[in-house]
Amino acid sequence: MTGTGRTTTRDIARAAVRAELAQVAFELFRRDGFDKVTLDDLASAAGVSRSTFLRYFGTKEDAVLGAFEGQDQRVADALRGRPADEDDWTALRHALDTVIARYREDPDGALATTRLVRETPALCARHLEKQHGWGPALAQALADRAGSAEPPTLGQSVRAGAALHCLNVAIDHWTASDGRLDLVTLLDEAFAALSGR
Amino acid sequence: MTGTGRTTTRDIARAAVRAELAQVAFELFRRDGFDKVTLDDLASAAGVSRSTFLRYFGTKEDAVLGAFEGQDQRVADALRGRPADEDDWTALRHALDTVIARYREDPDGALATTRLVRETPALCARHLEKQHGWGPALAQALADRAGSAEPPTLGQSVRAGAALHCLNVAIDHWTASDGRLDLVTLLDEAFAALSGR
DNA sequence: GCTAGATATGAAACTGAGTGTCACGCTAGC
DNA sequence: GCTAGCGTGACACTCAGTTTCATATCTAGC
């Protein structure tokens, strides 16, 4: 987006190029391993200059992790959309369906991406870092939902983070099962494990 | 340690140098900011060569995060040491006292370190990455404690991770309060927030 | 005590990520 | 058509981290 909120022709072109670059990068990473592929490799494979590639993705990692961009906002919005009388856990669990949906739409793609991320320390670290920022965002959404104009309570922060962790564990197990297990069931089990015992 | 488990004179010297380097590095980081300080700065400030510095800490980040080294093993051991009839939550909560202890022994140092880490994206990311590895270790300890020779269940993974997250939230709040709030109380509250509602 | 082997250090070259600058070319609006 | 702005490429630069080699120091065995 360029300054104004208006979406111009250029923005569409940019998005298309971005998607194309991400696609090329992803395939190279899968084939040769993330660390083996240099920025020069990526640039020449995509037919652009190194500079251009770095303008689209500030980082090699971002070429992969850009796929997750904005998920936090989507989940937070979903959370705010839940009925006010719903308890935090139920609201969080439902809000996470927003994320799950993408895994059900394109299981193979999701599986490949997840594998690449978990197998690559650099990607894994960056992903954790970004996801770490979701916690406060979700906690704030919980606070908003509760109507209080105050910052999130310790309890809300804990629950938001724990819910995210449930998501991660569920995805881990799902990935380990080659996508055969049902992600919804796994997520429900994960949430249940918090209350249980 | 050199090959054998035996602790030699050299190992002691190494540890002393390491501690000294970490100290010098920490002060520079606090004064000028982590990103502003280069490896050359660190090396010359500590009176060693760049090579040597990098031999002690494979990474600039490790000069700070080395302080947390081995905590995961300590917590896991503490966990295994808990009575077998204790439920997971109680065992986890008590095992975390191992970590808390360091914050009570040297609150000022802990506060300074924590601040530096949370304020520096690179450090924060690396720290998250390392701490991410604790989850499986704790989950395994829970599994061992349960006597099953199997890998940890989904429930155990969830609980281990959630407990770690409680620790983080508690430390965050403690840091935000300049160390005035009681960390034990905060941690108890965080655990309570998981069961509640 | 002296030497042989291991070990700590320093120097330097190298790769690769990310930043900043500048000039060129295309496109849109006047 | 002209021009102002944007996307792109080329290039130089800084810095982290790796690797290699030479040198000094320390330890152990004789």
Say if the Cβ atoms of A193 and B158 lie within 8 Å: yes
DSSP tally for chain A: helices H, then strands E: 12, 0
Q: Which residues in chain B have their CB less than 8 angstroms from residue A150's CB?
A: none
**Where residue B150 sits, what CATH number does that domain have?**
1.10.357.10
Judge if B21 and B110 occupy the same domain: no
Looking up tokens 């947390």 gives B68
Does residue A86 belong to any structural domain of this protein? Answer: yes
Closest CA to B167 of B146, B126, B138, B125: B138
Among protein residues, the one whose C-alpha sits closest to the C1' atom of D9 is A49
Angle at the Cα of B7 from the Cα atoms of B136 and B75, rounded to 5 degrees: 25
Judge if B163 and B79 occupy the same domain: yes
Count of alpha carbons within 13 Å of A119, Cβ hemisphere only?
Answer: 15
Task: Give phi and psi for A53, each to the nearest 5.
Answer: -55, -45
Among protein residues, the one whose C-alpha sits closest to the C1' atom of C9 is B52
What stretches of A66-182 show up as alpha helix (H) in DSSP? Answer: 71-80, 88-95, 97-105, 107-119, 121-132, 134-145, 154-176
Judge if A159 and A191 occupy the same domain: yes
Residue B158 is nearest to which of A158, A159, A165, comparing CB atoms?
Answer: A165
pLDDT of residue B68: 95
CB-based contact B166:B134 (threshold 8 Å): no
End of a domain among B42, B64, B86?
A: B64
Q: Which residue of A has its CA nearest to B156?
A: A193
**Which whole number is the average pLDDT over B169-196?**
96
**Which whole number is the average pLDDT over B72-97?**
97
Judge if A177 and A122 occupy the same domain: yes
pLDDT surpassing 80 at residue B28: yes
The domain tally of chain B equals 2
Q: What is the mean pLDDT of each run of 10 residues along chain A (197 residues)?
A: 61 88 98 98 98 98 96 97 95 98 96 97 96 97 91 97 98 97 98 83
Judge if B54 and B77 occupy the same domain: no
Sign of CA dihedral B88, B94, B96, B98: negative
Average pLDDT, chain B: 94
SS (H, E, C) chain B: CCCCCCCCHHHHHHHHHHHHHHHHHHHHHHHHCCCCCCHHHHHHHHCCCHHHHHHHCCCHHHHHHHHHCCHHHHHHHHHHCCCCCCCHHHHHHHHCHHHHHHHHHCHHHHHHHHHHHHHCHHHHHHHHHHHHCHHHHHHHHHHHHCCCCCCCCHHHHHHHHHHHHHHHHHHHHHHHCCCCCCHHHHHHHHHHHHHCC
**Where residue A45 sits, what CATH number does that domain have?**
1.10.10.60
pLDDT of residue B39: 98
Does residue B2 belong to any structural domain of this protein? Answer: no
Judge if B29 and B116 occupy the same domain: no
For testing the chain A interface, which of B88, B129, B171, B172 should be mutated: the one with the most A CBs within 10 Å?
A: B129
Judge if B18 and B94 occupy the same domain: no
Judge if B180 and B103 occupy the same domain: yes
Q: What's the pLDDT tens digit per position in A62-110?
A: 999 999 999 999 999 999 999 999 999 999 999 999 999 999 999 999 9
End of a domain among B27, B44, B64?
A: B64
Judge if A143 and A186 occupy the same domain: yes
Q: Would you tell me how many other CB atoms lie within 10 Å of the CB of residue A26?
A: 17
Does residue A109 belong to any structural domain of this protein? Answer: yes
The residue segments making up the domain with residue A29 are 9-64
Judge if A60 and A129 occupy the same domain: no
